[in-house]
Structure 1
Amino acid sequence: MTLWGGRFNQSPAQSMRDLSRSVHFDWRLAPYEIEVNLVHLSNLMKQKIVSKSDGEILQKGLLDLASEIGSGKFTYNNDDEDVHSAIERGLVEKCGSLGGAIRAGRSRNDLVITDFKLYLVDHLLEIASAIINLAKSFNIQATNQIDVIAPGFTHTQHAQPITFGQELSKHSHALLRDVDRIFDWIDRNNYSPFGAGALAGSSIQPEPETTALNLGFSGVMENSIDAVSDRDFAAEALFIMAMIGIHLSKIGEEFVLWSSTEFDWVEIDDAYATGSSIMPQKKNADVAELARGKSGRFIGNLTALFVVLKAMPFAYNRDLQEDKEPIFDSVDQLLILLPAITGMVQTAKFKQSNISKGAAAGYSLATEIADFLSKSGVPFSLAHEVAGECVKFCEKNGIELDQMSDQQLLTMHPNLTPEVKKFLNVSGAVSSRTSAMGTSKNSVLAAINKLNQDISGVDKVIASLRKQFSGMINP
């Protein structure tokens, strides 16, 4: 079914129909379209454009369609151009020609963007919930590993000893920023475009504010041309999902390294690994590797929409049909990926002795010497040079920093008294860093407790937002 054609002398060519058709991917907007049409219908009845009796027929038809869409009984066919034409066809089948009355006062231009925003609110909240589950898993593992001291890395080289719980919980901080971005997105984009019509507004929608509130939005967009052409919200959503994908890729990279024979820090549960078709001994960290791989897909989807939008003139253009598939793909992939990574993290078995044995390797305690001298009044630039000389001496003589004799230390600098040896061990180095962001056990536990409090608050915000949109989002 098409929603246009009166001024045309012939039907579209088959190649044109194939190019134009979008129902095979935008059908997932159908539940949201039913909700928007129900609210729109109530406005048509209020304006007496549709009588009460006709409105009741149409309302029943829409509700019946919603039920049949949910059960799969009603779906699109080969003649439907898009989700809008498919639903109007269904309504006409149930209500006769009266079904076409629902189109008064609206355009596909404002309808589709309203559907799309509602879809994104719903699915970004679902993604936020999945992210929170992953953060909770990291926090549990981090608390369990709080007494394990590990080598910390910069440039993938040993740097300084750290609490392994801090290494794990760092991911929770990044994940909570992703959730904050989702909430920011909802706050910034929680305005309805419905009532913009094709681009100039609608005399049949004199109070779009009421429709907006009934749909769960906080208000309306203030310029009807902007309302139908804006896809900032879609690009921003793709950025958020790309950023999530990058964070998941970083998690994946670490688990790939940690599970390697060379590191041997973690055993990935069999349920989250695969084998080889030729090498019977293999156990591959495929969840982690796919997390890395899919990050390219999320970034690619963002780039694709940017290129579509970069020179879009005036109001609606058909180019904007290309906005949905990148979004749908990123949403689908995240909702597949997040539970798998969460399961991998939850079931991971960390090998504490292997993690700890290299904590002091690579002269990672050299900073303790520089800090000790600095606290004794030596300018840090000089203290840094002295610590470097200590490392050079140890490398030449095949010893570790804590194996230097008292006399050797004093030879390096008169302020390097034997007291420095209290700090030339991983426990002393870690426990000395007691600031709010430090790696000491108490600091890390306090940070994890704060994370857990923040997560509890996030759960409440998600519940509140779902309530705000309840009744309007029932896919």
Structure 2
Amino acid sequence: MKLWGGRFSKETDTQVNDFNSSIAFDSRMYKEDILGSIAHVTMLGDQGIIEVEEANEIKSGLLNILTEIEEGKIEFSIDAEDIHMNIETKLIEKIGDVGKKLHTARSRNDQVALDLRMYLKKEVEEISGYLLDIIETLVNNAKANTETIMPGYTHLQRAQPITFAHHLMAYVEMFRRDYGRIKDCYERMNYMPLGSGALATSTYPIDRQKVADILGFNGITLNSLDSVSDRDFTIELASAISIIMMHLSRFSEEIILWCSSEFAFITLDDAYSTGSSIMPQKKNPDVAELVRGKSGRVFGDLMGLLTMMKGIPLAYDKDMQEDKEAIFDAVDTVKLCLPVFTKMVETMTVNKENMRRAAGKGFTNATDAADYLVKKGLPFREAHHVIGTIVAYCTTNQKEIEELTLEEFKSFSDIFQEDVYKAISLETCVNERKVPGGPSFIAVNNHIAFVEEYLKGLK
């Protein structure tokens, strides 16, 4: 007989039982369920709702169940539907009728809301650590490449020369924002819903704040209807994880390009590459490709959560059982991707000369050539036209701008002098961009120093 079976005269159909059960995926919350129950029963004893001796007996039984689960001695039953009923059933088997008092003044509705928040708080802390790892790895790689000149791109066309350090630090900023988003999400989910009951709290003199204090929450949720039907914390977390995966996917796309023969900007370590079953020469960037692919499943998890919640009325509806598989998958996926991606970046070899050669082609110094004329007094639009004409000439004659003779320069404008060659050298193009946020050696090193202080402040 099910613990809720008093109202029913027939056993649940086997197919319905299987369809209704969530133990296959919510069993991972066993520890949170037990710790939440211990806090709840402690409060029941302190408030005189049950005897203190009974509360202590229940706590002892719960701790014994926790030990047995972690030792692999307990198998969960699909007949008990979910992790909450499984643990309560085991408790009653162990300590008898006193175990039936555990569920006093609570519902599975507020119980699952509590367990899920507790579980996801723990996961957020782990994901946060992975984000700090990738930030630190990128900073270290940037420090080794502050003078490694490469082409910057727009529309995947060579645009202006930058440094590899500057490029990497762009991703540092993305992941720093990801870290901030996920920590903000933690703060909003860090309020304790237990005591909300099924939807309308309880007539018992419970102390919700005491339970919140025991479990380390910032406070209690303030509306019982919202408490049991709120899953926006899972949606917010899935959104934050989706943005992390989007950033990883963009970075993966660049790594896939960079390690191709056409670019050859980097070489991936053998430990983070795979081969072909038929082509012996192949070295494939499968880690990056899998990360890029897995971003799609996380976006799907987010859309699933949004769709699940968009039409259900207050308060709890069984639709909400679908929240766990989606958010667990998103969490599992980002935790799988971040560490292996970080190691792949940490171990890759940067082909500095190939990067510099690429920066020297494609007229990446054209903007600086125009700026040279502007600084000599020519209006920018006229300077833009002059350099555009020079680029067309160079394209026809298969030359780079810096390969023109002074005589050729002067055929386009008398303003050109010998100093044009220094003005359009790649080193000048990069290091004269000293504006904060720019690619110059000074600007990038200031950025790196700032992020290093940021990381120190988090430790």
Q: Does 1:134 align with 2:134?
A: yes
Q: Match for residue 246 of structure 2? A: 246
Normalised to the residue count of structure 1, the TM-score between the two structures is 0.94
Q: Are 1:131 and 1:338, in contact at CA under 8 Å, matched by a contact in 2?
A: yes
SS at match of 2:242: helix
Cα distance 1:345–1:219, how it changes in 2: closer, same or farther (>3 A)? same
Instruction: Give CA deviations for 1:131-159 in whole Å, capped at 9, x if unaligned.
Output: 11111111111111222111111111111
Cα distance in structure 2, aligned partners of 1:96 and 1:331: 37
Cα distance in structure 1, aligned partners of 2:427 and 2:117: 52
Q: Are 2:370 and 2:384, in contact at CA under 8 Å, matched by a contact in 1?
A: yes
- Listed as ranges, the matches of 1:45-124 within 5 Å are 45-124=45-124
Q: Match for residue 329 of structure 1? A: 329
SS at match of 2:77: coil
Cα distance in structure 1, aligned partners of 2:173 and 2:69: 40
Q: Match for residue 362 of structure 2? A: 362
Cα distance in structure 2, aligned partners of 1:412 and 1:234: 62
SS at match of 1:439: coil
SS at match of 2:50: coil
SS at match of 2:153: strand
Q: Are 1:47 and 1:204, in contact at CA under 8 Å, matched by a contact in 2?
A: no
Q: Does 1:438 align with 2:438?
A: yes
What are the ranges of 5 or more consecutive residues in structure 2 without an aligned counterpart?
Answer: none
Q: Does 1:209 align with 2:205?
A: no
Q: Which amino acid aligns with 1:100?
A: K
Q: Match for residue 267 of structure 2? A: 267
Structure number with greater CO (CA < 8 Å, separation at least 6) is 1
Q: CA deviation at 1:381?
A: 2.5
Q: Are 1:109 and 1:197, in contact at CA under 8 Å, matched by a contact in 2?
A: yes
Q: Are 1:301 and 1:327, in contact at CA under 8 Å, matched by a contact in 2?
A: yes
Q: CA deviation at 1:3?
A: 3.1
SS at match of 2:151: strand
Q: Which amino acid aligns with 1:4?
A: W
| Corresponding residue pairs, total | 459
Instruction: Give CA deviations for 1:95-116 in whole Å, capped at 9, x if unaligned.
Output: 1121111000000101101110
SS at match of 2:195: coil
Q: CA deviation at 1:303?
A: 0.5
Cα distance 1:35–1:356, how it changes in 2: closer, same or farther (>3 A)? same
Q: Are 2:23 and 2:76, in contact at CA under 8 Å, matched by a contact in 1?
A: yes
Q: Which moved more, 1:97-106 or 1:141-150?
A: 141-150
Q: Which amino acid aligns with 1:92?
A: I
Cα distance in structure 2, aligned partners of 1:283 and 1:205: 66
Cα distance in structure 2, aligned partners of 1:261 and 1:38: 60
Q: CA deviation at 1:205?
A: 5.2
Q: Does 1:296 align with 2:302?
A: no
Cα distance in structure 2, aligned partners of 1:28 and 1:205: 31
Q: Which amino acid aligns with 1:84?
A: H
Cα distance in structure 2, aligned partners of 1:103 and 1:7: 17
Q: Are 1:252 and 1:288, in contact at CA under 8 Å, matched by a contact in 2?
A: yes
- Listed as ranges, the matches of 1:338-349 within 5 Å are 338-349=338-349
Q: Are 1:245 and 1:295, in contact at CA under 8 Å, matched by a contact in 2?
A: yes
Instruction: Give CA deviations for 1:191-221 in whole Å, capped at 9, x if unaligned.
Output: 1111110000112254312211221111111
- Listed as ranges, the matches of 1:185-264 within 5 Å are 185-204=185-204, 206-264=206-264
Q: Which amino acid aligns with 1:86?
A: N
Q: Are 2:21 and 2:78, in contact at CA under 8 Å, matched by a contact in 1?
A: no
Q: CA deviation at 1:383?
A: 2.3
Q: Are 1:195 and 1:205, in contact at CA under 8 Å, matched by a contact in 2?
A: no
% of aligned pairs identical? 39
Q: Which amino acid aligns with 2:204?
A: I
Cα distance in structure 2, aligned partners of 1:51 and 1:388: 87
